Copies of this chain bind each other. A is one copy, B any other.
């Protein structure tokens, strides 16, 4: 079956917001083996919306419309769909009561324009919205399935998972199983080189690489009949891939580098402290995003100034004077000082020049030293992330490489 997503909203065409809904829906469709060949984005304009819906209905079996379900006159997705299908709009009493309850639960009275959110094309299956005010719906007409969902990601994502996925799974009858191998420290083309023969020889299990920020994802995918187990298929290629990737394979699944490192720390009962300069708390913030990390993460210091490096971490004034704050010596003293201060098993430190200012011929923008202190001593590594890159790029690369360095120490 073929699906098509139409993202509705002038704000998407103005560039005010980035459309994350479409990517989310795309991922879910691939899980139930429904092909997504096209996506469209259209503004809040009746004529152009009608044109988009007609085009989608002419070439796709399932048309998913997101956005334009709110209370204002600009919100007209259901109205335009009803018009395309030649159906009247009817008020759904359950949705109306739901809206009234939502407002009164917040001590607000409902303005009449909110009633638009309780109107649906005749015959629609209502999709209750527990995460906001506008319910979605499914309308079946002419052998096609039109699915209408609210635009805000915090509503759309649970609506998709809890309301739409069961419907789509029933339609499809086929599933695609995927396995994501996350790779750090090998570029996309080098990775393809390393497994080129496997890509050429691929049969049931298809292989594809996706370059991410500082990392590459290798996607294994296999189409399955209902009830079929994907693991024997994956087992036909995965061991050989793992052998070739070695330690650069850092996770299987959706975990990113911070999640991976946090989980290794927690499961191995090792504690960590952080001394950050140019990353400025970013490593701590990424680790703290992982629930349960409080078991492993003791304390972080954002020592941006030399004074803080001396006072909080015990970096010696001589080191700062002789080698500068961006030096392997300073990185080592930062990590060792933080480890001593907190008594953690490991301490990680980062010091570098994130730019745009502060660079020199000898120490250019993008130069970063990362040190890790652990039970078996400390070591520092030098990284050069490229002076042409912006501050955000250099800081993020420093964060990821610091965590990867710690990961390689831990495993």
Q: Which residues of A contact B (CB under 8 A)?
A: 7, 11-20, 22-30, 36-43, 45, 48, 52, 55, 71-72, 131, 152, 154, 189, 192, 210-212, 217, 219, 274, 276, 278-285, 287-289, 291-294, 297-305, 307-308, 312, 342, 354-357, 388-389, 391-393, 395
Contacts and interface: CB of A to CB of B under 8 A. Distances in A.
A19 B18 CA distance: 7
Contact of A301 (B39, B297, B301): B301
Contact of A355 (B25, B211, B291): B291
A388 to B, nearest CB: 7
Given A285-B279, A308-B342, A36 B13 contact: yes
B305 A294 contact: yes
10 contacts: A13-B38, A15-B22, A15-B25, A15-B27, A38-B48, A279-B288, A280-B289, A281-B281, A281-B285, A299-B304
Contacts of A280: 281, 284-285, 287-289, 297, 300
A31 to B, nearest CB: 10
B304 A302 contact: no
A299 B301 CA distance: 7
A109 to B, nearest CB: 13
B16 A217 contact: yes
Given A278-B288, A288-B304, 13 more contacts: A13-B26, A14-B27, A39-B42, A280-B287, A281-B284, A285-B285, A285-B395, A288-B302, A294-B304, A298-B307, A299-B308, A299-B312, A301-B301
B312 A304 contact: no
Nearest to A190: B108
Interface of A is mostly: mixed
Contacts of A210: 11, 16-17
Given A299-B302, A305-B294, A15 B23 contact: yes
Contacts of A11: 210
A22 to B, nearest CB: 7
Contacts of A300: 280-281, 300-302, 304
A291 B357 CA distance: 8
A15 B40 contact: no
Contact of A299 (B45, B289, B294, B305): B305
* Among A25, A285, A354, residue most surrounded by chain B Cβ atoms (within 10 Å): A285
6 nearest A-B residue pairs (beta carbon): A280-B288, A281-B284, A281-B281, A300-B302, A15-B27, A15-B26
B18 A39 contact: no
Contact of A285 (B17, B23, B40, B282): B282
